[in-house]
Structure formats: C-alpha cells, structure tokens
C-alpha cells in the first residue's frame, strides 16, 4: 500500500560512512508500487551501499526509511524482510553444499508435525517456485554444482518465496545469458503488475532502456539525477554518471595483423569423471588463436564456454582428455592452474568467489599474488618493485581504493573484478583466457579495459574472450567462435559477424559451418 504521496518506499537523507570513505551522502530516493527503478553509476558510486541500507544489511546509517507510509529502523535483514523488502546481492550468498530447495527456504523450512524439516513439501514448493519463474532445475541438486547463471535464478526464486513488496536486484543479469535475461524480464513484468516495486542495479544500458520506468544515476555517493531512460540519450546518462562527456566505445580499430599461431586446439574432448551434471564439456573442439588476436567465444548458457576455458587452464575437474592442444608449437596439457601459469596462460574466471581473491588481505597483496616470484630477487620480495607494480596496475585499470593497503573486500564489486584482472596482467601471460571479464564493470572502465586488451594484443598476446554480451564481443574481437553443446558451430571474422548471425548459430538455426 502506498502512502498519500503514492510512494511505496521513501529514503531520506541517507548517509553512510565506512572508515574513511563516504559511500552515500544525503541520498533521497522515492519509489512507487509497480515501478521498475534502475540505479546506475560508476564502480564505487554507492549503489550497493544504498540498497544494503534499504535491505537492512547496513544498519549504522543516517537518514530515514519509510515503507508504505510507515517509518522503519531496520536492525537487520530480517526486519527489512518483514517489511516486504528482499534483496538479491551482487555477490550471491547461497550455501553451495545445500540443495536448491534448502537454499530457497533457508531458515523458513516447512515442518512436519514432528517439527522436522518436511523435505518433500519443501522440494515441491521449491519446484513450484521455479516453475513460476519458468526455470527447469532439480530442487534436490546441490547449489554448488550449478552454474553461476543458474545460481542467480535460485536467488531470485528465494527472494520471491516471501511476501515481497520491494525487490532489490544488484546486477542480476551480470551472469545470465540472453535466454535467462528474457526469463528474468518476464518475471519482472509479472511482479510489476502485482504492484511490486523493483530496484534494479545494472551497468547494461540497453537493459535499463528496456525495462526501467526511471533511472537514478549515482555519482560519488550522491544522486546526480533521475531520468526517464527511454527519452534520455545514452550519452546524457553517461555524462551524468561520470560528470563529463565520454563515449561508450570499444578500443579496437582496423584488423589486427595476427601473428603466428599461439594456441592450436584439435578435436579436444573431455569426459569428466563421475557425474558432473550441468557441465557441457568440450566435445570435439577445433580452435586456433594467433598471437595478437582477440578471439571471442559466444554461445548460450550451457554451451560449454566456461568448460573449454577451464580445460585450457587446467582448472576443470579431472577427466579423460582426447585430441590435442598445442601452445607455441609444443604440447600443452596443464595438470592444474599452476602449470598453466608456468606456460604463460592467465585466466579471469566468471565467478569472482573462485578467483582466489583474499578478501581480508590488502588490495596490493592481492594484485601481486601470482607474480610474486618475478618481483623477487634471490627469493626476497623487493618492496620497491612490488609497490611500483601495484601502482602501475591500479593506475592502468583505474582501481578505486583509498590505498593499496585496504582489504580488497571493502572495494565495490566492480573494483574487485579489476583487481582480479590486474593480478593476471601482472603475471605477463602470453595467452589470456577471459570468462565474462567485464561482469560488473562500469561503462567507462569497460572502455578502458577494451583499449587495454587491444594494446596487449598489439604486443603479441593472444586473447580468448567469452562473453554473453554480444555488442561487446562484436566490438572487441577480431574473430568470433560460437559454441553449442560443447562444439564449435561457427567461426566468423569480425567483419562478417553480426548479432543476428552469432545468435542464430548459438541457437542452432543455421547449418554447421556457416560463415
């Protein structure tokens, strides 16, 4: 029920300070029932912080919150939930060991008369919830065995299983492929018809234009403005975000002159041991990456992109491998990530939690972790060299941190992702495997990253770049390889690739070998 002004949620004068950082300063925000409000802004602008205040995750803030005309002072997430506010966090917080159903009903499990958990009823309720979302998932599967995109859908089912009036989504599509995004948008439409207000944080402009009724832009912890995304140009929105004019652009130009073959994959197939449900392992892949080339990997969720990259990085579950892989003309079959690194192969994973960030440790330490050996002389780290290396990476990637000494866990999501990237670059790889590397990175920083990738390629690096964002692949890559069912179904040079052609191949509506 809205209050007399028509507002469902009113936040007034919200200020939140972390040791030394003003994350939100005097923010006002009003949302009506049935409204989809986008929140956007650069990495570190304060979006997650503001929403954590609304969801009761952050309680030591200034300012007031009113829901349906009633003032609230949340003492924790449970209070916010009781007021009808649910949040899907940027970093998913599911329990990997528990099943899908157990995660959805965590802490509110249906009970039998004997007060034990009613497993059967719980599974049925979870299944119903998933069906309503249009998702096919076995409620009994362990969440840890699901792909990131699937886990995201479980989070959404979980948030919707309570009486929710306000649903906050912090970058919900960052890990979703196109088909799942459609599914999510359909759900959002249904919720909006039921009068649920949705707060939607995203860095993807085209999504915001498609689903948001209004877009509030944050800059340096403050509201820079609220606009109608349909009648405001992208240019204007970006200007509001960064406070200056900047293009959404890709750092590419002209066809790179590709060098010698760096990576040659022939008929690579893997049969993972044991039951690896949900994995699509390579099933006969042919692929070449030349030095100086950026090769895009496209495909729907479950097409096998992540599995291919993991196999090439030696990070896949052990299995029987057939076919051949050569790196620099020598056999390449890494027994693990360490062996891959030793051969000059770097990997940025789609799942930040598995990227090995030590959240309590300083930013600087996290950046130098894999490169430590190269910064040593006779086994001793040279502090000067380490500092310089860290400084260079922080500057190159525009990592926003009060200092390299602060724990990486205190950085905003996008800035954590940049740290992961910095660490890989510092190790000076020859071949860089990227799985959704720009996930959660803001528009300006993305443009810088694209430029950086092109510079690296010009220096002779080979890059294999998996992304669900087709405009990104089309903008950045020299060539696009499309996977489906663990096989290459198309391989097209940039000038012959289009969004339509890639999608058609990914969905199987063109014959094999097209283009």
Ligand X SMILES: Nc1ncnc2c1ncn2[C@@H]1O[C@H](COP(=O)(O)OP(=O)(O)OP(=O)(O)O)[C@@H](O)[C@H]1O
For residue 23, the minimal CB distance to ligand X (Å) is 3
- Taking residues 415 to 454 in sequence order and writing x for each that binds ligand X by CB under 6 A, - otherwise, the string is x------------------------x-x------------
Q: Is residue 304 a contact point for Mg ion (CB under 5 A)?
A: no
Tell me which residue has its CB nearest to ligand X.
Answer: 414
Q: Is residue 45 a contact point for ligand X (CB under 6 A)?
A: yes
- Give the separation between CA 219 and CA 403, rounded to whole angstroms: 20
For residue 410, the minimal CB distance to ligand X (Å) is 3
Strand-pair partners of 492:
480
- Give the separation between CA 311 and CA 337, rounded to whole angstroms: 10
Eight-state DSSP code of residue 142: B
What ranges make up the beta strands (E) of 136-252? 166-170, 197-201, 214-219, 222-227
Q: To 5 degrees, how large is the angle CA 151–CA 153–CA 158?
A: 95
Report the residue from 30, 48, 366, 417 that binds Mg ion according to the rule CB under 5 A: 48
- Dihedral pair phi/psi, residue 221, rounded to 5°: 80, 0
Annotate 274-315 with DSSP letters as a single string. Answer: S--TT----EEEEEEEETT-EEEEE--TTSSHHHHHHHHHT-
Q: Is residue 413 a contact point for Mg ion (CB under 5 A)?
A: yes
Q: Is residue 364 a contact point for ligand X (CB under 6 A)?
A: no
Q: Residue 14 binds which entry of ligand X, Mg ion, none, with Cβ cut-offs from 5 to 8 Å by kind?
A: none
Q: Is residue 23 a contact point for ligand X (CB under 6 A)?
A: yes
- Give the separation between CA 34 and CA 197, rounded to whole angstroms: 5
Conformational region of residue 9, where left means phi above 0, alpha means psi within -120 to 50, and beta covers everything else: beta
Q: Is residue 57 a contact point for ligand X (CB under 6 A)?
A: no
CA nearest neighbour of 367 among 410, 408, 338, 310: 408
Positive or negative, the Cα torsion across 96, 102, 104, 106?
negative
For residue 412, the minimal CB distance to Mg ion (Å) is 5
Q: Is residue 49 a contact point for ligand X (CB under 6 A)?
A: yes
Q: Is residue 410 a contact point for ligand X (CB under 6 A)?
A: yes
For residue 61, the minimal CB distance to ligand X (Å) is 12
Using the rule CB under 6 A, give the single segment among 17-25, 62-70, 133-141, 189-197 that binds ligand X.
17-25
Q: Is residue 21 a contact point for ligand X (CB under 6 A)?
A: yes
Question: Cβ(483)–Cβ(297) under 8 Å?
Answer: yes
Question: Cβ(179)–Cβ(470) under 8 Å?
Answer: no
Q: Residue 18 binds which entry of ligand X, Mg ion, none, with Cβ cut-offs from 5 to 8 Å by kind?
A: ligand X
Q: Is residue 413 a contact point for ligand X (CB under 6 A)?
A: yes
Decide whether 418 or 494 has the Cβ nearer to Mg ion: 418
- Give the separation between CA 403 and CA 401, rounded to whole angstroms: 5
Conformational region of residue 397, where left means phi above 0, alpha means psi within -120 to 50, and beta covers everything else: alpha
For residue 413, the minimal CB distance to Mg ion (Å) is 4
Q: Which of residues 61-100 bind ligand X (CB under 6 A)?
A: 90
Strands 294-298 and 283-290: unpaired
Q: Residue 299 binds which entry of ligand X, Mg ion, none, with Cβ cut-offs from 5 to 8 Å by kind?
A: none
For 19-22, the CB contacts below 8 A with 24+ separation are 20/402, 21/402, 21/410, 22/221
For residue 442, the minimal CB distance to ligand X (Å) is 6
Q: Which of residues 58-97 bind Mg ion (CB under 5 A)?
A: 90
Q: Could you tell me how many residues of this chain bind Mg ion (CB under 5 A)?
A: 4
Decide whether 280 or 412 has the Cβ nearer to Mg ion: 412
Report the residue from 3, 18, 179, 385 that binds ligand X according to the rule CB under 6 A: 18
Instruction: Kindly list the residues in this chain that would bind Mg ion in the complex (CB under 5 A).
Output: 48, 90, 412-413
Instruction: Kindly list the residues in this chain that would bind ligand X in the complex (CB under 6 A).
Output: 18, 21, 23, 41, 43-49, 90, 410-415, 440, 442
């Amino acid at each position: 029920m809205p209050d007399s002004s028509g507002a469902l949620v009113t936040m007034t004068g919200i200020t939140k300070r972390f040791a030394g950082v003003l994350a939100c300063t005097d923010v006002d925000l009003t949302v009506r029932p049935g409204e989809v409000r986008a929140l956007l802004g650069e990495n570190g602008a304060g979006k997650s912080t503001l929403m954590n205040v609304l969801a009761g995750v952050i309680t030591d803030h200034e300012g007031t919150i009113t829901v349906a005309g009633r003032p609230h002072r949340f003492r924790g997430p449970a209070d916010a939930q009781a007021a009808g506010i649910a949040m899907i966090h940027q970093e998913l917080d599911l329990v990997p060991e528990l099943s899908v159903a157990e995660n959805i009903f965590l802490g509110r499990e249906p009970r039998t008369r004997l007060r034990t958990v009613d497993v059967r009823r719980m599974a049925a309720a979870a299944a119903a919830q998933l069906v309503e979302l249009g998702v096919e998932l076995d409620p009994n599967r362990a969440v840890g065995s699901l792909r990131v995109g699937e886990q995201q859908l479980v989070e959404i089912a979980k948030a919707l299983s309570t009486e929710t009036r306000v649903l906050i989504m912090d970058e919900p599509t960052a890990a979703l492929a196109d088909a799942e995004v459609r599914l999510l948008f359909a759900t959002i439409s249904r919720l909006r018809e039921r009068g649920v207000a949705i707060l939607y944080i995203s860095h993807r402009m085209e999504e915001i234009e498609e689903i948001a009724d209004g877009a509030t832009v944050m800059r340096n912890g403050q509201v820079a403005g609220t606009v109608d995304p349909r009648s405001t140009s992208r240019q204007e929105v970006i200007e509001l975000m960064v406070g200056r004019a900047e293009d959404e652009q890709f750092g590419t130009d002209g066809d790179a002159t590709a060098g010698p073959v760096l990576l040659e994959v022939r008929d690579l197939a893997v049969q993972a041991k044991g039951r690896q449900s949900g994995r699509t392992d390579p099933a006969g892949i042919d692929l070449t990456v030349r030095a100086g080339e950026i090769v895009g990997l496209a495909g729907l969720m479950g097409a096998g992109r992540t599995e291919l990259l993991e196999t090439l990085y030696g990070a896949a579950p052990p299995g029987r491998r057939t076919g051949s892989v050569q790196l620099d003309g020598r056999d390449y079959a890494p027994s693990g990530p360490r062996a891959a690194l030793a051969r000059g192969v770097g990997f940025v994973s789609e799942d930040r939690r598995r990227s090995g960030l030590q959240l309590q440790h300083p930013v600087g330490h996290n950046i130098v972790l894999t490169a430590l050996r190269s910064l040593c002389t006779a086994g001793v780290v040279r502090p000067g060299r380490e500092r310089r290396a860290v400084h260079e990476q922080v500057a190159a990637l525009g990592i926003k941190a009060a200092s390299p000494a602060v724990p990486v866990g205190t950085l905003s999501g996008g800035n954590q992702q940049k740290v992961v990237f910095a660490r890989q670059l510092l190790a000076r790889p020859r071949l860089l495997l990227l799985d959704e590397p720009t996930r959660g990175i803001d528009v300006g920083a993305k443009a810088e990253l694209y430029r950086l990738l092109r510079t690296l390629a010009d220096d002779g690096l080979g890059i294999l770049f998996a992304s669900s964002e087709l405009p990104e692949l089309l903008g950045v890559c020299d060539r696009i390889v499309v996977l489906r069912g663990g096989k290459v179904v198309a391989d097209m040079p940039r000038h012959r690739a289009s969004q339509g052609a890639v999608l058609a191949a990914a969905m199987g509506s063109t014959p094999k070998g097209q283009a």
